[in-house]
Amino acid sequence: MNLDHVFMCGNPALDFAATLRARRTARYEMFVTPDRLDAWYVESGIVDSVSPARQADVGRATTVREAVYRLITARRLGADFDDEALAVVNDAARRAPAAPQLTRSGRWTAATQREALSTVARHAVELLSGPDVPLLKECGNPECTRVYLDRSRGNRRQWCGMESCGNRIKAAAYRARRRTGVALAE
């Protein structure tokens, strides 16, 4: 499996919602093939193995992902939940989740596609009904639409991750200051 999914949001439901990147601009889809969905489930750590996805599973997952994103956005903005998004997430959460098993070598969680998706939906339900709601923030990079949990001291974190958006924004601000300084010196 290809290990290039990113998990920086602080909750599997937030990371799942972030698999459609740059929603306001370029819209970069991470689930372009069924094996990319399989990889996300395993790389996220919610399961250790998952039955191979079909295109229908990708469609179901992206429907749940978009509903999760709408609910996260509503909660973050203090708006009412969308009824359709609630129904989609609750329907997914109502199904049996992935169940960990104890083996001789430790914990192992094998899941079907629906069990893995149910596990993600349950993470969304717990997050959006729990004490971490005030910590929800959208990345300060105008091109990024990741929502993350700000657990920094004083809740002053501005971007989803320093390695991605933070460095890019800081470097751009530095270059802009340098250009302004050079223009003023001339």
**Would you state the pLDDT for residue 143?**
83
Domain boundaries, the chain: 12-185
Left, alpha or beta for 154 (phi > 0: left; psi -120 to 50: alpha)? left
Q: Which helix (H) or strand (E) holds 80?
A: none
Contact 148, 14 (CB under 8 A): yes
Which residue from 67, 56, 58 is spatially nearest to 93, judged by alpha carbons?
Answer: 67
Contact 31, 61 (CB under 8 A): yes
CA distance 64 to 171: 35
Could you give the 3-state DSSP secondary structure of residue 111? strand
**Would you state the pLDDT for residue 101?**
97
**Would you state the pLDDT for residue 181?**
61
Contact 25, 143 (CB under 8 A): yes
Q: For strands 106-108 and 110-111, give the pairing.
A: unpaired
**Would you state the pLDDT for residue 130?**
96
**Would you state the pLDDT for residue 185?**
58
Cα-based distances in Å from 123 to 2, 10, 24, 35, 164: 24, 11, 25, 22, 25
**Would you state the pLDDT for residue 166?**
64
**Would you state the pLDDT for residue 23?**
85
Rounded average pLDDT per 10-residue block, the chain, 186 residues: 71 96 84 96 96 98 98 96 98 97 96 98 98 94 89 85 68 66 58
Which residue from 79, 115, 72 is spatially nearest to 97, judged by alpha carbons?
Answer: 115
CATH superfamily of domain region 12-185: Jann2411-like domain (1.10.3300.10)
